[in-house]
Structure 1
Amino acid sequence: MFRVLFFDSGLGGTSVFSAVKELNPNCSYYYLFDNECFPYGNKDEAFIIKRTDEILEESVRRFSVSLIIVACNTASTVALPKLRDRIKIPIVGVVPAIKPAAIKSKSKIIGLVATPGTIRRAYTNDLIEKFAKDCKVLKIGTTDLVRLCERKMAGKPVTLTEVAEVFGPWLMLKPEERPDSIVLGCTHFPLVKDEIGTLFPDAVLVDSGEAIGRRVRSLISLNQAPSYEEISDGNHAFYTGNLENLSGYENAFKSLGFKDLTAFSLK
């Protein structure tokens, strides 16, 4: 059975999971989130590289996975080269969708909302220089929105007012000065896509989910995809630390088709 591992610091990768599973329904999926060190967006690069390498090497050994999706923009923009050097199975990363956002923008004013680490990283600035040179790019770096997304996935209420506070700098602009294409530069942020769409009804919201799904499909095809008659051994989720509201997280994963939610330890 072809096993795909999703890795993130939290539940943001579930937004990518849905798109990948829709295009690749016959795989078994494992989802591992490093809530013990959540969020990654305010951690230094050396820590992120070491942490992701340790967890993913152990995951490959323990679960015999065939492909890894680093479903975290922060980890992807920092650790992918090192991970690919050390782990000899296909690894797919998630990076801000600057190119499609620039293509979709009519006003040539695009917005990028991401974690502070992703916003300041040279990799992100290189994407902007390469694909959005003709655009004005407004940026918001936030871990508050990440936490709101986690809260929502755990079954706790999130208000539009709370989301609006994150986007205050853009909402204060005149309508014609606001972005008409917004990059959701963290896999968490599609989880509050409806709220962001309410705040910016005239903007196109762009994320990487569908593109990652297509990329995974091509890699699975190259690596002997399961036949449509082959039965999956189920989807399994794991967490690294302690969860304050375990039942809330269990319900979230159950709704996505996961059989269980189990603690994962490196020790």
Structure 2
Amino acid sequence: MSSSHTPPPRILVFDSGVGGLSIVAEMRRHLPGVEMIFASDNAAFPYGTKGEAELCERIDIILHRFLQIAPADIVVVGCNTASTLALPRIRDQFDIPIIGVVPAIKPAAAASTNKVIGVLATPATVQRPYTQDLIEEFAQGCRVILQGSSELVHLAEAKLRGETIHPDRLKPILAPLFEASAGPQLDTLVLACTHFPLLKEELISACPYPVEWIDSGEAIARRAAYLLQQQQLTPAATTCGSGVALFSRQCPSIEQLKPALRNFGLETIQYS
């Protein structure tokens, strides 16, 4: 069969809400010749409130269901909570590469001039020992200020459904990161939840002064490109057409999401 008839590689980005769309955006930017599948387990949103055993069981079941509908060459678990808790189990269950998402503390420590870093995450990620382990391993010599927010997740979801989010709503969430007393200024801020880059413009406007913003999206796209190469899978020479958005539950709010999904190149909606 000629290469022109070889279907492009398929990458499935999985999340409970719509935060994984920030990963889809980076995939579109760095790997335009890949077919994208966005899979949202909206029936179980949010994952951050679930216990470890419950969450691992849920992800195992729902990923099998999604991959039956839309087989893929690579899966990206586009959720920090799911990645830190469930990756070992699901990697045992599937024979395709699975990429997890972790807070981008290592690149932030390298980027910071003042060695003062903010980490904006969900409360669950802030409290995980995994996050503290990343700080101890990669941010020695840095002051790391952690700030947890569930509200930002809901604001990102609201923005994608067409609501205008005024930066003033974000200022109280960011304020604790910048209220440190003496010492060097915070100069680097990690967006440690895939929902948060969806609000990047509003967050920049809400900041009291410019900072370096770092998230995991670009690194994940680079990792996906490497894994495709390892599997000898070649992205199409041209940008792939419309992708697919999968949801575990049909609900009215998905209608509100359709314009945003189209902006991410996801024209087709299916339900598992």
Q: Same fold (TM over 0.5)?
A: yes
Aligned 1:97-176 pairs, distance under 5 A: 97-173=104-180
In structure 1, the residue matched to 2:225 is 217
Q: CA deviation at 1:232?
A: 4.7
RMSD, aligned CA: 1.9
- What SS is found at the alignment partner of 2:36? strand
In structure 2, the residue matched to 1:23 is 30
Residues of 2 paired with 1:103 and 1:88: CA distance?
A: 34
Residues of 2 paired with 1:64 and 1:246: CA distance?
A: 23
Question: Which is worse superposed, 205-214 or 53-62?
Answer: 53-62
In structure 2, the residue matched to 1:183 is 190
1:257 aligns with 2:242: no
Residues of 1 paired with 2:252 and 2:104: CA distance?
A: 33
Q: CA deviation at 1:247?
A: 2.6
1:86 aligns with 2:93: yes
In structure 1, the residue matched to 2:56 is 49
Q: Give the direction of change, closer, same or farther, for the CA distance of 1:227–1:118 in structure 2 (3 Å limit).
A: closer
Residues of 1 paired with 2:73 and 2:131: CA distance?
A: 28
Question: Which is worse superposed, 227-236 or 238-247?
Answer: 227-236
What amino acid maps onto 1:72 in structure 2? C
Question: Which is worse superposed, 220-229 or 186-195?
Answer: 220-229
Q: CA deviation at 1:230?
A: 8.0
In structure 2, the residue matched to 1:226 is 234
Question: Which is worse superposed, 23-32 or 224-233?
Answer: 224-233
Equivalences, count: 264
- What SS is found at the alignment partner of 1:147? helix
Alignment match of 2:79 (pick from 67, 72, 93): 72
Residues of 2 paired with 1:227 and 1:194: CA distance?
A: 30
8 Å Cα contact 1:97/1:206 also seen in 2 = yes
Instruction: Give the percent of matched residue pairs that are identical in Structure 1 and Structure 2.
Output: 38
Question: Which is worse superposed, 223-232 or 245-254?
Answer: 223-232
TM-score relative to the length of structure 1:
0.92
Residues of 1 paired with 2:231 and 2:220: CA distance?
A: 16
- Structure 1, residues 24-63: CA drift from partner, whole Å, max 9, x if none? 2222111111112211122221122111111112222222
Alignment match of 2:210 (pick from 202, 206, 210): 202
Q: CA deviation at 1:255?
A: 1.3
Residues of 1 paired with 2:241 and 2:149: CA distance?
A: 37
1:240 aligns with 2:248: yes
Q: CA deviation at 1:188?
A: 0.6
In structure 1, the residue matched to 2:200 is 193
Structure 1 spans left out of the alignment, 5+ residues: none
- What SS is found at the alignment partner of 2:103? coil
Q: CA deviation at 1:242?
A: 4.0
- What SS is found at the alignment partner of 1:4? strand
Residues of 2 paired with 1:257 and 1:227: CA distance?
A: 16
Residues of 1 paired with 2:237 and 2:101: CA distance?
A: 30
Residues of 2 paired with 1:97 and 1:194: CA distance?
A: 19
Residues of 2 paired with 1:4 and 1:227: CA distance?
A: 11
Q: CA deviation at 1:165?
A: 2.3
